[in-house]
Amino acid sequence: MTAGVTVFAGTIASQPLVFAHLLDAADRHGLALDLDHVEVICGGDPGKRLAHVFDPRDAALIRARQGGDSTVVLVFPEALIPGARLFPDTPLLRALGHFKPIRPRTLAP
């Protein structure tokens, strides 16, 4: 897998629907996806949440590539087993690219 966070955009109404769609897409590609390492930003301005993950230049690029889509999905490298490649697009989400996070991601205990 390419290093960094894979970012997708689309128009899906909620995080549970995004997760269900991602699990279906992963299954079609023979992948196991750990949703603990996936963030979904639905509706509104994603700027603040993107700023916590990416430098300002990458956050602005993601927002520009997002276009009119209302949902942004961040798939962190830990979501896949080492060496697995993530699908490039899904029927409802398009890949915006791979971006380097500005800090390591930690999960709450």
In a domain, 32, yes or no: yes
In a domain, 36, yes or no: yes
In a domain, 57, yes or no: yes
In a domain, 108, yes or no: no
> How confident is the prediction along the chain (109 residues), in pLDDT tens digits per residue?
346 999 999 999 999 999 999 999 999 988 989 999 999 999 888 999 999 999 999 999 999 999 999 999 999 988 988 777 888 889 999 999 999 999 766 655 5
In a domain, 104, yes or no: no
Which uninterrupted H or E stretch holds 6? strand 5-10
Q: In total, how many domains does the chain have?
A: 1
In a domain, 105, yes or no: no
Measured distance CA(105)–CA(63) in Å, rounded: 21
Domain assignment of residue 21, given as a range: 5-99
Measured distance CA(97)–CA(84) in Å, rounded: 16
In a domain, 50, yes or no: yes
What's the whole-model pTM score? 0.90
